[in-house]
Amino acid sequence: MTTAGEHKSSAGKDIAVYGCLLALAAIQFFIAYQDISALQMLVRMLIVAIIEAGVALLFFMHLSENRGLKWFVMIFTVAVILGMQYGWTDSFRLSNGVPWAR
Amino acid sequence: MAMWLFIIADSATFAGCLVAYGFIRNATPNWPRPFHGITNVALMTAILLTSSLTMMFAVRHAEAGDKAKAFRWTLITAVCGIMFAALHLREWFGMIGEGATLFHNPWGTPLFSSLFFSITGLHLLHVTGGVLALLAVGLRYRGGRYNADDLEITGLYWHFVDLVWMFVVPLVYLLNLAHS
């Protein structure tokens, strides 16, 4: 059971996190209208998305309260992302190594 | 713990889909950029983020033992999910009306439509499942068969659905925005 005071401060924190997530989402939309290359856009948007996901994980999904789980999720995520890079570079070979690429 | 394992497995599924999408997008020349406005997707994002906040309120009230308020916020979350799904379907029907289907794309390579409908469809399936879970768990929580922990676990899933959308929006929508 939580007290009324704790409940009120928790609600305040939730609203602050929500505002933060909305602002980060707005940044993504702002980046979409910038006159930059697709690669630069992708990198910037992904950085914002990772920060956004981190905030949601830590505060909405209470990952900050569970240290063991936090490490497990972080290590797993990094392993999956690194694993997926194995075939990624092949897409550049496809776009540069076929006749219609030139 | 079971929900966390499910979330981790499901995040690998979505990550696989998005990496495959990135691979194909990068390897395909003249990738179409058919989206002209962001109003609909911005509204969908705002609704989904708001639903995460309302879910937090539901869990907080459940922890405080206020069943009526917890159930009310759970219902509001489910309504947000339904609104999101309705906007999503409206967008889908708009695109289908322009000739885009799973195997046909009027703006160029058919791969665009296949990937767009597959990825957003998989997410929409998760939202639909989430709404049904929220209603089922919410009703049983109100009836006394489930407790605050059950509501919190359902909330975890709902936040995960929101988290996936944070990656779907930039990759599938914003990077395919037409620049005039």
The CA distances from residue A41 to B15, B124, B174, in Å, are 19, 25, 9
- Crossing angle of helices B39-63 and B148-168, in 10° steps, is 160
Residue from B48, B53, B152 whose CB has the most chain A CBs within 10 Å, to mutate:
B53
Please, which residues bridge with residue B35 across strands?
A: B177
Provide the ipTM: 0.87
Superfamily of domain B2-176 in the CATH hierarchy: Cytochrome c oxidase, subunit III, four-helix bundle (1.20.120.80)
pTM for the complete prediction?
0.87
Instruction: Give the chain B residue nearest A66 (alpha carbons).
Output: B1
Q: Which residues contact B10 (CB under 8 A, 6 or more apart)?
A: B126, B160
The upper half-sphere exposure of residue B9, i.e. CA atoms within 13 Å in the direction of its Cβ, equals 6
Which residues in chain B have Cβ-Cβ distances shorter than 8 Å to A87? Answer: 23
Which residues in chain A have Cβ-Cβ distances shorter than 8 Å to B169? Answer: 25, 28
Which residues in chain A have Cβ-Cβ distances shorter than 8 Å to B11? Answer: 77, 80
Helix (H, G, I), strand (E, B) or coil at A86: coil
**Hey, are the CB atoms on A29 and B19 less than 8 Å from each other?**
no
Measured CA to CA, the distance from residue A96 to residue A91 in angstroms comes to 9
Report residue B99: phi and psi, to 5°.
105, 0
- Give me the tens of pLDDT residue by residue for chain B, a chain 180 residues long: 788 888 888 888 888 888 888 888 887 878 888 888 888 999 999 999 999 999 999 999 998 888 999 999 999 999 999 999 999 999 999 889 888 888 888 887 888 888 999 999 999 999 999 999 999 999 999 998 999 999 999 999 999 999 999 999 999 999 888 876
Residue range A72-97, pLDDT digits in tens? 777 877 787 777 766 666 666 666 66
Measured CA to CA, the distance from residue B57 to residue A51 in angstroms comes to 23
Instruction: Give the chain B residue nearest A35 (alpha carbons).
Output: B179
